[in-house]
Amino acid sequence: MTLKDTSGHAVSGATAASLDLFETALHELRCYVDDPVSTVQRALDASPEMPMAHVLHAYLFLLGTEPEGRAVARDSHRAAQALPADARERAHIEAVGLMADGRWRAAGRVLEDLSIEYPRDALALQAGHLADFYVGDSRMLHDRIARALPHWSASMPGYHAVLSMQAFGLEETGRYARAEKMGRQAVELQPRDGWGQHAVAHVMEMQHRRREGIAWMRSNAADWSEGSFFAVHNWWHTALFHLGLDEVDEVLALFDGPIAGGQSVLALDLIDASAMLWRLQLRGIDVGTRWEPVADRWAPMARAGNYAFNDMHAMMAFAMAGRSADAHALLETQAAAAEADDDNADFMLEVGHAATRAVKAHADGDFAATVQLLRPIRNKAHRFGGSHAQRDLLDQTLIDAARRDGQAALAQALLAERESAQAQAA
């Protein structure tokens, strides 16, 4: 007899024990806590003929944009393909295969159709939501979840995660009041929901409610940080609030502690480390020797060429640490990646290569080139992923470069534009 998960979907090849482990791994992924890779591996050990366990294993290695993750995911994809599966499971298997080939947009479309047919499939919603994030599709960050939300209720396992995803989609589309309400509701239902915590932080960052943001993050830090593999990013948001208040000592303490002190080699964590140091540099703050260990950890990815958004942040570290060989290798790899037949080639050609070169030009003191490279891409920067808060670094860099290059009128115009946008968000 085929067993069903807590949302009523058949799970081929599962036993009661493996299904329980699979559900636990899904919960861990929804909250970004504990070790879902180990948990789903235990499910696979118990039931190696369970295609959805192979699918989840693949997603876990794809959704972090780690270069080596694609090879692991392809192995899991092949294993899942060889097993009996129903239509819903086959759609997941197809999406995993597309992601492993770097076809994020096509995978997102498969998951979109899957969610329309099976709106209570929380894994399809989450994988699709993250795909939308990586391709910079802010509308789908909202719409994908909004379509499914009427089929959910507070009594269903995982409802908090649906709320937190909808909260982030609302924030990224500028609907801040509803975003904050839903994010808070998600955290009330599940205090360990790091995505919901983060969605509210984004609202407060966009509205420049920095004191409130610090209070929001610090009041329940143990819930969202302990045992969480999303903790670095949420500590980054906390540091961003302090930076907005010119509390530089607090920012450096957070950087040296939970943001970079753990010496994480994960790309998503290294993005946060680079982004925070770059913001400090733009303010003229001496960060000492902090760039060097960040560059060391980016170095193995210099020739990865799998995600342009990562490349830009790696270049920050290479350029500021004086790692010219790594910087050169990164630019060479980007040029080759732009010729590939995958979505990252588009990310590279549309935004990523220019953004990465602009970062290097700024670090080299060539502010005129920085302005030249950033002005054509700033209005389409969403096309290589990230959030509004993350991509704001490009505008900050452009303003700084214009000022340093003596383009006072441009710098003043950009600042006026920025002040207007901030006033509208408040």
Q: How confident is the model at residue 1 (pLDDT cuts 50, 70, 90)?
A: confident
Give the predicted TM-score (pTM) of the model.
0.96
What is the Cα–Cα distance from 263 to 269, expressed in whole angstroms? Answer: 9
pLDDT higher than 80, residue 423: no
pLDDT higher than 80, residue 270: yes
pLDDT higher than 80, residue 194: yes
What average pLDDT does the segment 399-424 reach?
Answer: 92
Share of the chain above pLDDT 90, in %: 98
pLDDT for 426: 66
pLDDT higher than 90, residue 18: yes
Share of the chain above pLDDT 70, in %: 100
Dihedral of the alpha carbons of 284, 289, 295, 297, in degrees to the nearest 10: -130
Q: How confident is the model at residue 419 (pLDDT cuts 50, 70, 90)?
A: confident
Q: What is the chain's mean pLDDT, rounded?
A: 97
What are φ and ψ of residue 246, in 5° steps?
Answer: 60, 30
Strand 3-4 and strand 10-11: the pairing is antiparallel
- The DSSP bridge partners found for residue 228 are 33
pLDDT for 420: 87
pLDDT for 273: 98
pLDDT higher than 80, residue 177: yes
What is the Cα–Cα distance from 314 to 318, expressed in whole angstroms? Answer: 6
CATH class of the domain whose range is 1-136: mainly alpha
What average pLDDT does the segment 304-314 reach?
Answer: 96
DSSP letters along 355-406, please? HHHHHHHHHTT-HHHHHHHHTTTGGGGGGG---HHHHHHHHHHHHHHHHHTT
Q: So where are the chain's domains? A: 1-136, 290-426
pLDDT for 95: 98
The predicted-structure confidence for 325-357, as pLDDT tens digits, reads as follows 999 999 999 999 999 999 999 999 999 999 999
The predicted-structure confidence for 109-131, as pLDDT tens digits, reads as follows 999 999 999 999 999 999 999 99
pLDDT for 424: 72
Beta strands in 82-210 (DSSP E): none
pLDDT higher than 80, residue 166: yes
The predicted-structure confidence for 49-77, as pLDDT tens digits, reads as follows 999 999 999 999 999 999 999 999 999 99
The predicted-structure confidence for 217-255, as pLDDT tens digits, reads as follows 999 999 999 999 999 999 999 999 999 999 999 999 999
Taking alpha carbons only, the member of 159, 192, 180 closest to residue 32 is 192
Cα–Cα distances (Å) from 300 to 182, 327, 329, in that order, read 39, 12, 11
pLDDT for 407: 97
What is the Cα–Cα distance from 224 to 123, expressed in whole angstroms? Answer: 21
Q: Which two tokens stand for residue 156?
A: 């269903």
pLDDT for 59: 98
